[in-house]
Structure formats: structure tokens, C-alpha cells
Structure 1
């Protein structure tokens, strides 16, 4: 029984992560009762009918169909154990299933029927799904199938986690790579003395040697002994001729 319940939880985790739907988990014992709340989020028009269906162990198995303002039609196995209140036209219907059995364990969902201009009516399922697990203490089941199911679900969850981790690592590496910027080249003292310029965009290094010694001496002497020039005095009187 523990193995069975573990496989159920793995199914819920896998289904919730992969399908991205709202799910409610209910655990009951054999003979208990459970209530389903069928609520339509689509309110553009009034629905004309409602389906309650099973999805996992008995895919697309109809539990009931209710046409607005009429008596519901039930599946044979639940005909004596089901009670319905409300009407599809109000966007909410409550379904109570009593005297639960182990075979009632399944994933249930509600599907509302809306009128359409075309011949085919539009069926829109509710966002909420309900997983009912009935602990049938009086029945001993073979655990071989559940063991296989457990392995399959465990592998699916493991692959999903590895995929999510790979996405996280790729995003981290990309973000870190965008933050790394190239540092500008700083010329060393030797390069400055030798006249070597830092590399350009193409990665080439240019070398500019110092001028010849005689030019350096001329430039130095020009700065050391600047030419003297006589400053003109505008107030000095010119010399008189005799």
C-alpha cells in the first residue's frame, strides 16, 4: 500500500509540473464519501451541459452527464452512490459520491458544454482537477504493476529535474559571460621607455623608436638656451640727430 501511495504522489508531481494545472488530492477510506466542485472559469456565456469524467485509470470514462434543467444521466457503477446539486447554467455544480470503493481511485475533471454557432457545441474543461485515492483495505493487489509504474514515474521526474538543472546552468553561464568585459591594456614602464604602443583593435603592436641623438641635443639646447630678444619700449624717445 505504501508503494501504491508513493506511485500516486509521483504521478501527481509529474502531472502538475508537465501539464501546469491546478490539482487537489483527496485521500479517503473504503465506504467514505467525497464531494466534487465543478466550477467553470469561462463565463462569456451560460453553459448548457456538464460532464464529470475520469482521466487516468479509465481515460475519458463519463461518470455523469447533466443537461441544464434536466435530470443527470449517471454511469452504471455510480448510479446508486451519486448525488448532484446545482445547475450547469449557474457555472457551478456539486457532485457527492458516497460508499467509495478502491476502483473509484482516479483523476477526475469537469467539462462544461457551451452553445456554439456551428453545429458542434464547445466543451471547455475546468482548470481544477481532483485526484481521488481510495484506500481499499479489504483488497490485496499485486504490486508488480505498481513497481513498474514507480520506476517509470521516478525516471520521468529524474529526467525533468536534470533538464531543469541544465537550463539553470546554461542561464548562469550566459549571464556570467555577459558580465565579463575586456580590461584595457596597460603599458609597462619598459614599453613606455622603449616607445612601444599598446596593441590596437587588430592585436598588432606598433613600435616608435626615439629620435636620433643629434636631434635630441638640438631640442635640448633650444630649451636650455632660449634666444634672447630685445623687448621694445614704446615710451623710449628716439635719439636726436645733431
Structure 2
């Protein structure tokens, strides 16, 4: 006779050191209420905050209201960004913003010449700074090797947001890069892509070329305890089916590889 559970099972990542989250950029065509509704429906509880949902010049009251709205949906804003920075003033604004928002990490894309200045701000604020990579689309920080070359001699709170799709589109192996650079990987953007070059497009997780079982196993091996945030960049006018499919596939892999 079959025995059925008396209550709903927890999501597979509940038993892992890492968390499943969402990159705010996924919802750049949608307001915060629509974003939180999608997170609630997929039971995703971590959001990397983009400035189109909470502007950099937000007041303390606006930030308070923002966090209250997140709490009402059982969502935590764990970092801000990606934020592009071309001047020292923009760096100052980003750190002040992150402090007001109450997070301890900025995902950023700064001009290279600003890195020594950011190194000082990281020490001043005791905050992590994760450089986001963009594959072959732009010359600035194309992959994990490139980011490492810029941060390896800086404060250990200077690291990277490993975008596994863009890393693969630049011909790199995200699984190997996770193992190699895990001490400086503070955030991860999860996506699948169709090819390991510039022609590669974002696609639902599981339909592309990335080896997700190997990646999940490597997360465990290196003890990654940060967030793996889905950044879904397909059908962005109506991404919700793709988001649900991708989160479901990712959780299936987490469960199947235990």
C-alpha cells in the first residue's frame, strides 16, 4: 500500500548550502508587483535588486516600503545590481545606495581604471563587490578568467558574479571555473545557452548545452553558500513560462544529483 506525505515537500535546495534566487534583470519589462508574483508562484525567495525596481536615489521611506513589500511575499533582497560605473561619483553612489538598501554585496560592471578606488570602498564599507561578466558581447569582463586577472591582487572581498551562460559563450567551462575561482565567486547567474560562442542565445534551462548536473555537483564540492539566481533572457515580453520551466528543471537536477 502506498504511503503519501501528509504535507508538501520542501524545495530541493532547502537541504543545500546554496540558495536558488532570481536576477532582477529578468523582469526589466515588469513592475515590482509582477516580479514578486512570479517569485511567489515559483517559490523563489531571493532577489538581486535592480535599480528599475528600486532607483539609486530612493529615499529611506521608499526603501522601507520596498522591503515591506518583499517581506509580504516572503522574498529577501540579497544584493543590488548589476550597476554600471564609469566615474568615481557613480562608485560612491552605488556603495551609498547598497548601504541604504541594507545589503552587503554589489554586483557591478565598473570601468577597469576604477578598480583601485573600488578596492578602497570595499574596505571602507566592509562590503563584497562581485564583477559581472558578459561573454563576447562586450570587451569589458568577458569571462571568469578575465575577472580573476583584475581582482586576484585586490581585497578578497573583490570577486565575481559568475554568469555561467556568458562564460560558456566565451568558450569557457563554467564547471571548471567554479572550481578554480570559487573563493572569489560571490554570486552566480544561472542560464542555459544554445552555443559556446557569440551566436549562443539564452534558452530555458535544460534545453541548451550547459551541463547542469556537473555544475550542481561542483557547487557542493566547493561548498558554495551564495545564491544561484536565474537570469532568464528569452521571450522577455512574456518570460513566465520559461522562468517556471527553468526553475523546475534546476530543482529537478538538484534533487536527482543528491
Same fold (TM over 0.5): no
TM-score (norm 1): 0.21
TM-score (norm 2): 0.20
Q: Give 1 or 2: higher strand fraction.
A: 1
Q: Give 1 or 2: higher helix fraction.
A: 2
Rg: which structure is higher? 1
